[in-house]
Structure 1
Amino acid sequence: MTALASADVSGLPQLTTVKVRSWKLAITLGIVTVLLALLFLFSPRTGESSFRLGDASSSLTLPVVSVPTAATSWIVWAVLLVLTLLAVWQAYSYRKSGMWLAIVYGLLAIFAFLVWAAAGGLVPVTGLLFGAVSLSIPLIFGALGGVIGERVGVVNVAIEGQFLFGAFTGAVLSSITHNPFVGLIGAMAGGVLVAFVLAAFSIKYLVDQVIVGVVLNVLVAGLTGFLYGALLVPNESTLNRAVTFERWKIPLLGDIPIIGPVLFNQTFIGYLMYATVAVVAWGLYRTRWGLRLRAVGEHPQAADTVGIKVNTSRFWNVSLAGAIAGIGGAYFTLVSVPAFTKDMTAGLGFIALAAVIFGRWDPIRATLAALLFGFATNLRNLLSVLQTPIPSEFMAMLPYVVTILAVAGFAGQIRGPAAAGKPYIKG
């Protein structure tokens, strides 16, 4: 709703409230509901769908739960239809739909789809969630770097380059020193270096930030590809055999059913991700640093008048964002694969940038968005194992389709930091 000023016969200003309907969420839920109905109608599956809740690393034994495929799919679909109608009613009544509606709908839609896909098969729930979290870790670090960069006024399109260079430097230094912690520090330095170039050109020389970011991504991809062929391939045994982080299971917490093995049997970088999300979320809204950062990104002129050095603040915070994104790059070579390969980040930096937008430039929401994209990627792998009738080409598209639906549909009407992408010239 928007308040507008008008005048009555007395000449005194009056406030007129203009109500605005937002149909975006309702339309998105309606499209998904129709697609699920078409899937269940034209590609029906029978039998039972089984879900394994337990995990081999847990001390507790949980049963395998089986449900009738067709009946369960349609029952859950009926609930989804009710939620869709609720969203339509809220939009028609000028009511704002709460985030809970999108979350509940998303969880139920995923469950209905999994029931349909797992007909006659078995879904390892813990393994599915563990894989989703593992795939989301680099995305979360990249999204946090993107949030900090854009909150301070610099669009960080170079997350992909920071990932790639961080993965490269982390692999090389870990291989040389046989110490993953040295590799992690090297990956952070690699991310800072890419961010330094981004900051120098966009802040000092006023070059368009999006153009600089795209050029940096291409430059880093070409540079690491060249160094891989010229330096790492001939010296693979000494320069490209990284020592990786081992998984550390937290006693008691790691034995909690379902979520214990998923959240508390991670590597050092996984636990560092938890701490980083908490620190960034707290610091952004509860500290002087966060207040200054948001002021510079929203209204740099006002920040300058109270003594904040706008460009200096932007420069150092963009460097901090690069260090955080560099940790995400380290995950590729210090956890996933103990060696660097050409273009191994596979465009995930752009998915992290989408998570920033979907998360409305908020650390917690961006983290949840990154988890969603990681889940979609791992779901594609599970669908291949379950041998669903969905074409393999569509399954390869699944993470990106989810990205498009999330940003275009569930994000709603959003506005980024007012000064993001705009250079500041003092005076």
Structure 2
Amino acid sequence: MNNFSFRNPTKIHFGKGQIAKIKEEIPADARVLITYGGGSIKKNGVLAQVHAALENITFFEFGGIEPNPHFETLMQAIELVKQEKITYLLAVGGGSVVDGTKFIAGASCYEGDPLEMIYTRASKVKTALPLGCVLTLPATGSEMNGNAVVTRWETKDKMGMFSELMRPTFSILDPETTYSLPARQVGNGVVDAMVHILEQYMTYPVQGKVQDYYAESLLKILMEDGPQALTDPMNYDVRANIMWAATQALNGMLSLGMPGDWSIHAIGHQITALYGLDHAQTLAIVLPAVWSYKKAQKKAKLLQYADHVLGIKEANDDDQSATLAIEKTRAFFESMGVPTRFSAYGLDATAIPAIVEKLRQHGRLKLGEHGDITPDDVTQLLQLAL
């Protein structure tokens, strides 16, 4: 296991009725901006609960943050922040709303052009507004980390960034807020959380047993309860386990002392930016292709995953076990309603050159845990995803 240092200061309030805890976290004299997406929180009663928790606190609202939040939209929110002298941000929604609000938090205090934050991955952020989160879609883990992904729609650039200053001070996780999610979002959320885990797990052994076994347990939970969330959407225990597993998937615990891949996300981001696919859909396309292309290098962990998580016993040899692990993962994604090939989304080989060119433009020339996936390799491995 490699050396590491770790701190995660985000406070979590988990469970039924916890939205009321907002009033304990936000100062009474704050000027709050509530951010949200398409408005489902108005229909399912979540926004009403937030309003009740903010009684006697001055607040404003900004809606319309897109899935894969657009820089252009977030700049409108920043204008409102400055106009109304906002002192606290409250993201109410899924990972895209949380990510977008993190960008608003940093960009509202940024001394230069906020566009620089995208291309410098927020490395120059020196201060940010405090923010809290009410999570309604378990998937990204953004509620307990400093990561954010923002799309510049004008140029079709989707870029990740990180700053400790953009980490939520608190997050509310009430599983009941997820009851009304459409099946597509449930499936996407489970796949997204799984791939977060697998990007940190499916590399090569470094004898990090705590992290490995923790990752394996989270994967088992998602694979057991994910399908149940589709068939029994009002099951609180199922929703609770999925929600907490998705948070654990990317709160920093699994990466401690471990190598990470993250080529799947890097490639997937370009597919979303160019062709508009859901984030999880791109991950479902790219993951089997990367694993198949790098099967020899990942074989030790593929075999561990096949044994510990998938319980594969029918294989005749190690190569077959590794292949079965890839195919069973693909089959699980499909069972969650998330197709795993370009063709399912109306795309073919002509889509690949633009994806590769975007990676070149962004300097993503050495991907993967070994830094040996080049743009030329991406061209080849994406052929496996057609």
Larger Rg: 1
Common topology (TM > 0.5): no
Structure number with the bigger relative contact order (C-alpha 8 A, sep ≥ 6) is 1
TM-score scaled by length of structure 1: 0.24
State the TM-score, normalizing by the size of structure 2: 0.26
Higher helix share: 1
